[in-house]
Amino acid sequence: MKNLTHDTAPDAAKRREDETQSSVEPRGDEARSVPVLVAILGGVGLLALSLVFVIGGVELGVGTPRRLGTGAFPVLSGLTLAIICVGIILGDLRNGHLDEVPDWISFFAIGAALAIFAFVAERFGLVPAVFLATITASLPDRTLPWIGKAALGAGVSLASWGLFIGVLDLPFRAYMGF
Amino acid sequence: MEILSNFGDGLLVAMQPQNLLYCFVGVFLGTFIGVLPGIGSMAAISMILPLTFYLEPTTALVMIAGVYYGAEYGGSIASILMNIPGTPSSSITCIDGYPMAREGRAGIALFASAIASFGGGMIGMVVMAVLAPALAALALNFGPTEYFAVILLGLVAASAVSNGSPLKGVAMVVAGLMLGTVGVDLTTGTERFTLGIPELRDGVSLVIVAMGLFGVGELIVSIKANRHGAQQTKLDYKKFYPSWAEWRAMVKPILRGGGIGSIVGALPGTGQTVASAIAYAVEKRLSPNKSNFGKGAIEGVAVPESANNSATQTAFVPTLTLGVPGSASMALVIGALMIHGITPGPRLLVEHADLFWGLVASFLLGNIMLLILNIPMIGLWVRLLQIPYRFMYPTIIVLICIGVYSVNNNVFDIWLTLLFGWAGYLMRLYRFEPAPLLLGFVLGPMMEEQLRRAMLLSRGDPTVFLTRPISAALIAVTVLLLIYAFASALSARKRARAAMTVPS
């Protein structure tokens, strides 16, 4: 598979500008070359989304120019996005790269923390949900031992209980099913 | 005189105990979050948004504004001490702030930053008080055609000019417009793209989109960025106050930065980062001390801080008077107001004068609070920077979960936040800016409504946008902006290619 390459030597000022533009912090990793199929995935995903809105909008009915139908705006915006996506895909075919090495561990750990919170909060209450979500979210950090993760989870869950149920009186159940 | 009288009334509103309290909470939280590298004002506002639902509209707006400019203040602390911008706009402060810190003048740099932010904030407040009523009076003549053109200009300016790839920026705006169509169409009552899920009938919640894209998405990025740690500078408290010469050197840059920032901040799509960059470039050209810029010049700290804070205040001008946010943060402000049943626009100054002038007056009080928070309490913020990030981010994730859950007590919202959080991370990976998506999402329903009205009134004639003078002028500016953005991107790419070929 063809690999795409990218400029990996920005000077300090350019790097600062890039950080400013992307509104994220310095990454410490260089941009990485990726297979062409991976490079265009962003544009292709958006193109698929735009087509969903175009087809859905047509089904809803676009109306007339005088009385625009329910589907007119989704169709107009979907078509616009589809055209733009073709340009993006062509650009990425020539110069596509990922901005950084993906951090899949953090990606899935943070996702799992939210999922665990959603699953546990409804069935067992806020305190167990916070405890487990905190521990799960702290998994990407290997410098913190398990006992430290558990202590952090206990501290955050107790603080959440005190603040959100005790002080702010939000309608959460601290425990359920115990 | 009328402005002074209105400002006096606003001061009475802002000084009500509840407003004072939440103004303080806002600036404190804003500074707190601004100090933490990687968590910007967008994430900060997203996180407090659910809290504001329980407050009066004026109190909610005062608190959100406090978080917004508090984060700008706080952002400069990490810039100066660690060379890591706490917020994007404070990246310009790194250029001279960090060299000052390395020379052992960190205390002076932080003091200069606080004073300049205060000065800039005051200039921005005055400009807002003068400019907003004039713009609102002009906007009273706007019909749906003009509103559609203004929204289009705002969206294009925000997406194409301020970010990396104009094509990807515009794509994000359009994706946001599409996302805004999810839910029941208010005109016909038909469900659109809800997939049969009852929770989506009211559309996707702004809190979920903002928390997911900015809270969760930024956090995933920041875990890795902060894993490497950062070099910290020892703060020398003995050298905290600037010398007389340094005071004198700061005065003109603060005034110039505040002036430039207040004008640039009021333009849609520019924001504090552009304001800081322009002000810094102008000051570097005008200053008698230009050779020292980049090596620790106090003017180089004062001017961007003054500019970004004044831009922060004047960003409220188009947001409140036209209902067109110039940035994603301002889109959240609009969303918060709409949740309270208040529609931003030219009538806001008449129908909710207490809210508008209360907000303007709160800038004065909030900036004084920030001075108090920043100068005597600088040690607290420095210690905060020393707390390992591994303790911070799991706590922030839990706060996001609780914040989202508290809105409807429905875990479906958390699942949706998870999807948007992952989408936010992938968007950053593929260099798609999430901010324009949020702008499009907030403005989409308004844009669709104005388009429908304009087409109905013109009996289906699309040329109405080009035959009415104001809308024609606005669309011409939009087209010029697009041409400029694409031309700039092309020339930047050519320069980058040329730079790559020279060493090889």
Say how many domains are in chain A. 2
Give a yes or no: residue A36 inside a domain. yes
Q: What is the pLDDT of residues B333-345, one digit of tens each?
A: 888 888 888 888 8
How far is B330 from chain A, CA to nearest CA, in Å? 16
Query: How far apart, in whole angstroms, are the C-alpha atoms of residue B470 and residue B212?
Result: 37
Q: Which of A51, A66, A95 is the last residue of a domain?
A: A95
C-alpha pair distances (Å), A48 with each of A41, A54, B175, B182, B417: 10, 10, 12, 17, 21
Nearest to B309 by CA among B111, B97, B72: B72
Binning pLDDT at 50, 70 and 90, where does residue A8 land? very low
Instruction: Tell me what pLDDT residue B234 has.
Output: 59
What average pLDDT does the segment B241-247 reach? Answer: 85
Q: Return the DSSP state at B243.
A: P
Residue B480 has which token pair? 């010029």
The DSSP symbol for B201 reads: T
* Residue B123: Cβ within 10 Å count: 25
Give the confidence band of A177 by pLDDT, cuts at 50, 70, 90.
low
Contacts with A122 from chain B: Cβ below 8 Å: 411
Instruction: From B227, B137, B123, select the one nearest A138 (Cα to Cα).
Output: B227
The residues, ordered by sequence, that sit 6+ positions from B396 with a Cβ below 8 Å of its Cβ are B39, B47, B215, B219
Q: Looking at A32, A66, A95, which one is the last position of a domain?
A: A95
| A137 and B CB contact within 8 Å | yes
Which residues 56-115 of chain A have a CB within 8 Å of chain B?
56, 60, 64-71, 73-74, 77-78, 80-81, 84-85, 87-88, 91, 95, 98-100, 102-103, 106-107, 110-111, 113-115
- Alpha-carbon distance of B36 to B138, in angstroms, equals 41
Task: List the single residue in A70, A100, A115 with the smallest CB-CB distance to B429.
Answer: A100
CA nearest to A149 within chain B: B391
Backbone angle region of B104, left / alpha / beta, with phi > 0 → left and psi within -120 to 50 → alpha = left
Task: Provide CB contacts within 8 A for B337, sequence distance 6+.
Answer: B57, B61, B343, B344
pLDDT per residue as tens digits for the range B195-226: 989 889 988 988 888 889 888 888 888 887 76
8 Å CB contact between B245 and B110: no
The arithmetic mean of pLDDT across residues B147-167, rounded, is 80
> What value does the mean pLDDT of chain A take?
80
Please state the φ and ψ torsions of residue B105, each to the nearest 5 degrees.
-110, 35
> Residue A25: pLDDT above 50?
no
Residue B493 has pLDDT above 70, yes or no: yes
Can you give the pLDDT at residue B29? Answer: 87
Domain that holds residue A151: 104-167
CB contact under 8 A, B418 and A115: yes
Q: How far is A86 from chain B (nearest CA, A)?
A: 10
pLDDT tops 80 at residue A175: yes
Query: DSSP secondary-structure letter at B295?
Result: S
**Contact across the interface for B163 and A69, Cβ inside 8 Å:** no
Q: Which residue of B has its CA nearest to A57?
A: B192
What is the model's pLDDT at position A110? 95
Contact (Cβ atoms closer than 8 angstroms) between residue B105 and residue B236? yes
A4 found inside a domain: no
- Mean of the pLDDT values across residues B61-77? 86
User: For the whole model, what pTM was predicted?
Assistant: 0.79
User: ipTM above 0.85?
Assistant: no
Q: Do B221 and A137 touch (CB under 8 A)?
A: no
Q: What is the pLDDT of residue B159?
A: 77
Does residue A91 fall inside a structural domain?
yes
Q: What is the mean pLDDT of chain B?
A: 85
Is B415 within 8 Å of chain A by CB? yes
- Give the pLDDT confidence of B340-377 residue by residue, as tens digits: 888 888 888 888 888 889 988 998 899 899 888 877 77
Minimum Cα–Cα distance from B396: chain A residue: A134
Cα B390–B114–B305 angle (5° rounding)? 90
pLDDT of residue A13: 40
pLDDT, tens digit, 9 for 90 and up, residues B224-237:
776 655 555 556 55
Would you say residue B403 has pLDDT above 80?
A: yes
For residue A173, the distance in angstroms to the closest alpha carbon of chain B comes to: 11
Based on C-alpha coordinates, what's the Rg of chain B? 22
With respect to residue A175, please indicate whether it lies within any of the assigned structural domains. no
Structural domain boundaries of chain B?
A: 2-490
Least confident of B78-92, B304-318, B458-472: B78-92
| Residue B252: how many other CB atoms lie within 10 Å | 16
Name which of A130-139, B193-202, B269-278 the model is least confident about: B269-278
Do A83 and A144 share a domain, yes or no? no
Q: What is the pLDDT of residue B228?
A: 58
Contact status, residue B318 vs residue B266, Cβ threshold 8 Å = yes
Q: Say how far apart CA B280 and CA B256 lie, in whole Å.
A: 10
Q: How far is A134 from chain B (nearest CA, A)?
A: 5
For B229, half-sphere exposure in the C-beta direction (CA atoms, 13 angstrom radius) is: 7
List pLDDT tens digits, range B448-475: 999 999 999 999 898 999 999 989 999 9
Look at A137 and B456 and tell me if their CB atoms are within 8 Å.
Answer: no
Instruction: Report, as an integer, the average pLDDT of A104-117.
Output: 95
Looking at residue A10, its pLDDT comes to 35
Q: pLDDT over 90 for what percent of chain A? A: 50
Question: Which residue among A70, A95, A120 closes a domain?
Answer: A95
Examine the domain organization and report whether A89 and A110 are in the same domain: no
Whose structure tokens read 């099913």?
A177
CA end-to-end span of chain A: 55
Containing B249, the helix (H) or strand (E) segment is helix B244-266
| DSSP letter, residue B242 | P
- DSSP states along chain A: --B--------HHHHHHHHHHHTS---SS--B--BHHHHTHHHHHHHHHHHHHHHHHHHH--B-SSSB-TTHHHHHHHHHHHHHHHHHHHHHHHH--BSS---HHHHHHHHHHHHHHHHHHHHH-HHHHHHHHHHHHTTT-SSS-HHHHHHHHHHHHHHHIIIIIIIS--S--S----
Structure tokens belonging to residue B400? 């996001």
Tell me which chain A residue has its CA closest to the CA of residue B173: A81
In the predicted model, what is the mean pLDDT of residues A113-141?
A: 94
Which helix (H) or strand (E) is B414 found in, with range?
helix B412-429
For residue B11, pLDDT beyond 70: yes
**Per-residue pLDDT at A23:** 37
A-contacting residues in B 135-194 (Cβ below 8 Å): 162-165, 167-168, 170-171, 174-175, 177-178, 181, 185, 187-188, 190, 192-193
Residue A1 lies inside a defined structural domain of this protein: no
The tens digit of pLDDT for each residue in B26-51 reads 999 888 888 776 666 777 788 788 87
Residue A172: what are its φ and ψ, rounded to 5°? -105, 150
